[in-house]
Amino acid sequence: MINKYLPQIKNGNSKQFFLMAGPCAIEGEDIALRIAEKIVNITDSLNIPFVFKGSYRKANRSRIDSFTGIGDEKALKILEKVGREFGVPTVTDIHESHEAAMAAAYVDILQIPAFLCRQTELLAAAAETGRVVNIKKGQFLSAESMAFAVDKVKDAGNEKVILTDRGNSFGYQDLIVDFRGIPMMRSFQVPTVMDCTHSLQQPNQTSGVTGGKPALIETIAKAAIAVGADGLFIETHPDPANAKSDGANMLHLDLLEGLMQKLTRIREAII
């Protein structure tokens, strides 16, 4: 099913970008279905291919008492239900090699977190499931260096790779986006995505809770589409202030439709 949604960039630009969106973490079935339904209605009306995202478990937290999940199997079954009920692909991140096969039984795309994008064994394990592998570019790496991550997946026998930029470390507590990375990573002949929410994180805050600049999500998204990104990654929630994970840099769900309308017009202008 996923091949229907991902543009074949070796044949030129797709007429439309695709959207990977959903909550940061799976908090429960009702809210996951509610978010998915709202996004499906928006993307269907604008003819935007949609992939529902949600972490079944959060492994990289600033504090040990931070929310990590509702239980692996429970969360993965919710992701499976979203995919089945709405007929859309789903994506979740994995953190260790042994998780690849488990998660692949429920979702269409396995995501490699940015901090783990050089972990050869993890990349190979994801590749060997046969699922699409979405690799987040490390904040500490250049776009050029992601060619090696792509090679690791392909050398493991899987050609289905996506690369996602999520900004570069800028000092100790901020990130900055270098949009030169989008065309560079597209030159590897894989779909390239801009993570419009994590790229606006402000990590390592003294409170132990990551901050963010959600007011700039639209700016990042517009620029990404303008430079040719194949897709956008956006975490969204109906109540970001009370989201259990990464609420500080999420887009309010009510703002998603207006943003997608603007981005669709930009896409039409550059094709």
Cβ–Cβ < 8 Å for 19, 191: no
Mean pLDDT of 45-49: 96
Query: What pLDDT, on a 0 to 100 scale, did the predictor assign at position 66?
Result: 65
Query: What pLDDT, on a 0 to 100 scale, did the predictor assign at position 214?
Result: 81
Mean pLDDT of 29-46: 97
- Residue 4 pLDDT greater than 70, yes or no: no
Query: What pLDDT, on a 0 to 100 scale, did the predictor assign at position 62?
Result: 57
Domain annotation covers residue 174: yes
Q: Which residue has the higher pLDDT, 39 or 67?
A: 39
Domain annotation covers residue 172: yes
pLDDT band with cut points at 50, 70 and 90 for residue 10? very low
pLDDT band with cut points at 50, 70 and 90 for residue 1? very low
Domain annotation covers residue 216: yes
Question: Which domain does 122 fall in, by range?
Answer: 2-6+19-270
Cβ–Cβ < 8 Å for 229, 243: no
- Residue 161 pLDDT greater than 50, yes or no: yes
Mean pLDDT of 65-82: 87
Q: Which residue has the higher pLDDT, 245 or 78?
A: 78
pLDDT band with cut points at 50, 70 and 90 for residue 9? very low
Query: What pLDDT, on a 0 to 100 scale, did the predictor assign at position 210?
Result: 60
Domain annotation covers residue 12: no
Query: What pLDDT, on a 0 to 100 scale, did the predictor assign at position 213?
Result: 78
- Residue 206 pLDDT greater than 80, yes or no: no
Q: What percent of the chain has pLDDT over 70?
A: 87
Nearest to 106 by CA among 124, 134, 129, 125: 129
Query: What pLDDT, on a 0 to 100 scale, did the predictor assign at position 271?
Result: 83
Q: Which residues contact 127 (CB under 8 A, 6 or more apart)?
A: 133, 152, 153, 154, 156, 157, 158
The CATH number of residue 84's host domain is: 3.20.20.70
Query: What pLDDT, on a 0 to 100 scale, did the predictor assign at position 60?
Result: 64
Nearest to 192 by CA among 227, 157, 222: 227
Q: What percent of the chain has pLDDT over 90?
A: 75
d(CA 127, CA 147): 15
pLDDT band with cut points at 50, 70 and 90 for residue 173? confident
Mean pLDDT of 113-135: 97
d(CA 71, CA 223): 37
What is 85-118 written as a DSSP string? HHT--EEEE--STTHHHHHHTT-SEEEE-GGGTT
Domain annotation covers residue 200: yes
Q: Which residue has the higher pLDDT, 187 or 249?
A: 187
Query: What pLDDT, on a 0 to 100 scale, did the predictor assign at position 13?
Result: 52
Domain annotation covers residue 14: no
Domain annotation covers residue 217: yes
- Residue 64 pLDDT greater than 60, yes or no: yes
Query: What pLDDT, on a 0 to 100 scale, did the predictor assign at position 8?
Result: 40
Domain annotation covers residue 236: yes
Per the structure, the count of domains in the chain is 1
- Residue 251 pLDDT greater than 70, yes or no: yes
Query: What pLDDT, on a 0 to 100 scale, did the predictor assign at position 68?
Result: 67
